[in-house]
């Protein structure tokens, strides 16, 4: 294992410290228990909190700031954060209008956010939860009952964040977040495995010429392993199940999100994007907005995921609304 | 070799096409000869053109847009673009105030940009050239006489681009670009090699526990190979020669740029950034601005580079000026 790290047990602390130093205008890092909060909170705004295992950067700390999250809770690598960190993050995010927890559907995350929500409620903070479960690859998985939460999470955080920033109340922000989740589907592929620092060995093995379709963001098993094939074929293998599951058709407008898993060059993501635009065009589906880059990763895994979000006018406006975070920024 | 590509000989065309589709609001892609131009050029503004071998994305096409480049010319992977593409890019970038070529110091790039500049001059376009040579690792290298141009290129393009956008004339923009180059130094490290698609095998070999200090962005040899060590030690090995060569000292203000080589997780770059801030603090050097991410890469290489730019008030203001490109965006 070769990584730019020191002691594996300090990876998350040191990385988040560095993140806080680089983005001190946007965030404050609370070291113990570890969470990241927005530097300039707005009063009487619905607070958005997300979190999960580390290793998916820039998710979630990279999305703390204006128009997105108010706090992020990084767990150990690929390990859910504990309630003792989620609770103070929830308190920090509360400015009197309640807090929405955006939780990727993994059993550990769900349990720990639930516990934290109950504790926060006991302190008088109204907490709602939206569970993101956009991965069409598999039902039930290594760490999940039901579908996993993957790329769609970025879109939920951006769009619900914009709704909170414009002043929607807790019911409305929750409904918007749920609407994004209901209208987004994702599927990913791994060309290589990734290595959790404290494990020191790859989390799974792929043969020299083998790839895994439907991989999870922790390297959990996908649908099947196949021999390597050209990018255009892989793109179809990811996009078609996404479109079918979403039931999106001719005349509809979507946001197309091609996401890198962390170790794949940006140039390759654009090759996938190119083919995806052709496949959508063949079906008469219009690309209203798009996003290409490394936004929810699995350490240094090579591969990508494709997410499609069905747009309507309001979701498009909320997507376009100003955002100022370390990893997504426009309008500032 | 596992990559998200189709036929290796179409990698650059397909990737740039995808890039153009994803960023149609910002750029226009000219397929043959291949170059990328700014969608909404300004009249009577100094035009900025850069280019070089592909494989360093988002450099250079990702920096075409308001406040940065007017055109970018992508060569084959790790291969200089030819004059027949640089010439029309130069013509497209000219709006009557002359054109600045920003050229990384590689022999092929230099020759081809020189030829193109002469041909453009013959068509009545005034062309100046700034050669970027910020890599302190080695004098002369596999493809270079003198020092190589690496991370500093991103800073030259941003800051000279802002000078052009505010209306500086060709002399002034050239002087600013030269001033950035004179005040920036960089050094990189590779933890793994990268594979050029049409070659199909890694461009060099590193042992299981070996890293290369002073690597070039094409995998050219650096200063030496050492056994893997903690990130804090590697950070010092990169930063100290940079600071010494730059001659920056206590009380001065710098821009600290920690750049990923393409295959390294963002979380690791922040660990390097964290240690770099400590080392600068020990020397009394103030970090005025910073940038952390994958901005000039070497395909899927794992590793990073550290650049330090000595700031003054004008360079800081130009850095802060609005920019709207695919890969750098603020103020919009």
Tens of pLDDT, residue by residue over B194-207, are: 999 999 999 899 99
Q: Which residues of B are catalytic?
A: 56, 218
pLDDT > 90? residue A144: no
Are residues A44 and A96 both part of a single domain? yes
Among B123, B158, B182, the domain-final residue is B182
CA B98 to chain centroid, in Å, comes to 22
Nearest to B66 by CA among B321, B324, B317: B324
Length of chain A: 332
304-323 in chain A: CB under 8 A from chain B = 304
Question: Does A290 lie at the interface with B, CB-CB under 8 angstroms?
Answer: yes
Report chain B's terminal Cα–Cα distance, integer Å. Answer: 39
Nearest CA in chain B to A273: B18
Average pLDDT for B317-328 = 98
Can you give the pLDDT at residue B96? 94
Give a yes or no: residue A269 inside a domain: yes
Q: The domain that contains A204 carries what CATH number?
A: 3.30.1180.20
- The Cα A148–Cα B262 span in angstroms is 27
Q: The domain that contains A124 carries what CATH number?
A: 3.40.50.10440
What is the number of structural domains in chain A? 2
Give a yes or no: residue B2 inside a domain: no
- The Cα A315–Cα B79 span in angstroms is 43
- The Cα A80–Cα A86 span in angstroms is 10
Nearest to A199 by CA among A50, A57, A5, A33: A5
Can you give the pLDDT at residue B289? 98
pLDDT > 80? residue A272: yes
The b/e string for B45-64 (b: 16+ C-beta within 10 A; e otherwise) is bbbbbbbbbbbbbbbbbbbb
Can you give the pLDDT at residue B144? 85
- The Cα A48–Cα B191 span in angstroms is 37
Residue of B4, B11, B264 with shortest CB distance to A234: B4
Contacts of the segment A276-282: beta carbons below 8 A, 24+ positions apart: A276/A235, A276/A239, A276/A306, A277/B18, A277/B21, A279/A235, A279/A236, A279/A239, A279/A240, A280/A239, A280/A243, A280/A254, A280/A256
DSSP output for B22-91: HTTTTEEEEETTEEEEESSPPTT--EEEEEEEESSTTTTGGGBSBTSBSEEEEEEETSPPPHHHHHHHHH
21-80 in chain B: CB under 8 A from chain A = 21-22, 54-55, 57-58, 62
Mean pLDDT across chain B = 97
Residue of B21, B299, B304 with shortest CB distance to A265: B299
Question: Does A330 lie at the interface with B, CB-CB under 8 angstroms?
Answer: yes
Question: Does B207 lie at the interface with A, CB-CB under 8 angstroms?
Answer: no
Tens of pLDDT, residue by residue over B45-95, are: 999 999 999 999 999 999 999 999 999 999 999 999 999 999 999 999 999
Among B126, B151, B182, the domain-final residue is B182
Are residues A120 and A61 both part of a single domain? yes
Are residues A18 and A67 both part of a single domain? yes
Are residues A106 and A135 both part of a single domain? yes
Can you give the pLDDT at residue B140? 84
Q: Please give the structure tokens belonging to residue A124.
A: 């008088």
- The Cα A19–Cα A206 span in angstroms is 32
Are residues A318 and A232 both part of a single domain? yes
Give a yes or no: residue A5 inside a domain: no
Tens of pLDDT, residue by residue over A11-66, are: 999 999 999 999 999 999 999 999 999 997 788 999 999 999 999 999 999 999 99
Give a yes or no: residue A101 inside a domain: yes
Residue of B19, B262, B266 with shortest CB distance to A57: B266
The proportion of chain B whose per-residue pLDDT surpasses 90, expressed as a percent, equals 94
Prediction ipTM score? 0.98
Are residues A205 and A171 both part of a single domain? no
Are residues A163 and A199 both part of a single domain? no
B54: chain A residues, CB-CB within 8 Å: 267
The sheet that has A286-293: what strands, in order across it? Answer: A224-227, A210-213, A184-190, A303-310, A253-260, A286-293
Are residues B99 and B161 both part of a single domain? yes
Residue of B54, B232, B277 with shortest CB distance to A267: B54
Give a yes or no: residue B1 inside a domain: no
A43: left (phi over 0), alpha (psi -120 to 50) or beta: beta
Give Cβ neighbours of residue A309 (< 8 Å, ≥ 6 apart): A152, A155, A180, A183, A184, A254, A255, A257, A315
Can you give the pLDDT at residue B23? 98
Q: For residue A55, give how far its alpha carbon lies from the nearest alpha carbon of chain B (Å).
A: 7
DSSP output for B226-294: EE---HHHHHHHHHHHHHHHHT--TT-EEEEEEEE-SSS-HHHHHHHHHHHHHHHHHTT-EEEEEEEE-
Mean pLDDT across chain A = 97
Give a yes or no: residue A2 inside a domain: no
Question: Does A13 lie at the interface with B, CB-CB under 8 angstroms?
Answer: no
Can you give the pLDDT at residue B211? 97
The b/e string for A257-273 (b: 16+ C-beta within 10 A; e otherwise) is bbbbbbbbbbbbbbbbb
pLDDT > 90? residue A141: no
> B40 pLDDT band (50/70/90 cuts)?
confident
Report chain A's terminal Cα–Cα distance, integer Å. Answer: 39
B4: chain A residues, CB-CB within 8 Å: 191, 231, 234, 264, 268-269, 271-272, 303-304
Average pLDDT for A100-123 = 97
CA B50 to chain centroid, in Å, comes to 9
Lowest mean pLDDT among A39-43, A214-218, A307-311, B215-219: A39-43
Give a yes or no: residue A257 inside a domain: yes
| Beta strand pairing call for B34-38 and B286-293 | unpaired
Optimal mutation site among B10, B17, B18, interface A, most CBs of chain A within 10 A: B18
Average pLDDT for B315-325 = 98
Are residues A261 and A275 both part of a single domain? yes
B17: chain A residues, CB-CB within 8 Å: 270, 274
Nearest CA in chain B to A54: B267
Regarding predicted confidence, which is higher, A142 or B149? Answer: B149
Are residues A45 and A155 both part of a single domain? yes
Among A182, A208, A234, the domain-final residue is A182
Average pLDDT for B308-318 = 98
Average pLDDT for A91-95 = 97
Question: Does A224 lie at the interface with B, CB-CB under 8 angstroms?
Answer: no
Nearest CA in chain A to B288: A22
CA A135 to chain centroid, in Å, comes to 11
- The Cα B238–Cα B191 span in angstroms is 13
Check B230 against A6: CB less than 8 A apart.
yes
Length of chain B: 332
Question: Does A114 lie at the interface with B, CB-CB under 8 angstroms?
Answer: no
Question: Does B191 lie at the interface with A, CB-CB under 8 angstroms?
Answer: yes
Give a yes or no: residue A14 inside a domain: yes
Helices H, strands E: what count in chain A?
Answer: 8, 14
- The Cα A102–Cα A125 span in angstroms is 16
Optimal mutation site among B26, B63, B271, interface A, most CBs of chain A within 10 A: B271
Question: Does B186 lie at the interface with A, CB-CB under 8 angstroms?
Answer: no
According to DSSP, residue A101 is labeled E
Q: Residue A309 sits in which domain range?
A: 184-323+326-330
Are residues A202 and A175 both part of a single domain? no
Contact B44, B37 (CB under 8 A): no
Optimal mutation site among A18, A190, A198, interface B, most CBs of chain B within 10 A: A18
Tens of pLDDT, residue by residue over A178-234, are: 999 999 999 999 999 999 999 999 989 999 999 999 999 999 999 999 999 999 999
Cβ-based contacts under 8 A for chains A and B:
177
pLDDT > 90? residue B316: yes
> B39 pLDDT band (50/70/90 cuts)?
very high
Average pLDDT for A279-307 = 98
Contact B151, B134 (CB under 8 A): yes
Are residues B111 and B49 both part of a single domain? yes
Tens of pLDDT, residue by residue over B113-139, are: 999 999 999 999 999 999 999 999 998
**Other C-beta atoms lying within 10 Å of the C-beta of residue B18:** 25
């Amino acid at each position: 294992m070769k990584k730019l790290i020191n002691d594996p047990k300090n990876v998350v602390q040191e990385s988040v410290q560095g993140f806080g130093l680089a983005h001190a205008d946007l965030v404050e890092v609370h070291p113990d228990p570890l969470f990241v909060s927005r530097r300039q909170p707005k009063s009487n705004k619905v607070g958005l909190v997300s979190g999960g295992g580390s290793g998916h950067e820039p998710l979630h700390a990279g999305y703390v700031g204006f128009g997105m999250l108010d706090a992020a809770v990084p767990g150990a690598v690929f390990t859910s954060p504990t309630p003792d960190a989620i609770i103070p993050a929830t308190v920090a995010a509360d400015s009197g209008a309640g807090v929405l927890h955006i939780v990727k559907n993994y059993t550990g995350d769900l349990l720990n956010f639930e516990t934290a929500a109950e504790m926060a409620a006991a302190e008088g903070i109204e907490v709602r939860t939206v569970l993101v479960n956009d991965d069409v690859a598999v039902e039930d998985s290594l760490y999940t009952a039901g579908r996993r939460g993957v790329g769609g999470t970025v879109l939920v955080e951006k769009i619900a964040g914009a709704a909170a920033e414009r002043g929607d109340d807790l019911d409305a922000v929750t409904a918007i977040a749920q609407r994004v989740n209901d209208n987004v589907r994702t599927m990913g592929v791994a060309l290589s495995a990734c290595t959790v620092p404290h494990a020191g060995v790859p989390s799974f093995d792929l043969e020299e010429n083998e790839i895994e379709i439907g991989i999870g963001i922790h390297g959990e098993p996908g649908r099947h392993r196949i021999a390597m094939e050209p990018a255009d074929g892989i793109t179809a293998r990811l996009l078609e199940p996404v479109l079918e599951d979403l039931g999106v058709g001719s005349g509809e407008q979507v946001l197309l999100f091609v996401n890198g898993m962390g170790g794949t060059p940006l140039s390759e993501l654009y090759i996938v994007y190119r083919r995806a635009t052709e496949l959508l065009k063949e079906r008469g589906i219009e690309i209203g907005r798009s996003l290409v880059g490394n936004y929810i990763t699995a350490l240094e895994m090579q591969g990508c995921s494709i997410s499609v979000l069905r747009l309507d006018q309001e979701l498009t406006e909320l997507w376009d609304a100003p955002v100022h975070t370390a990893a997504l920024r426009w309008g500032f």
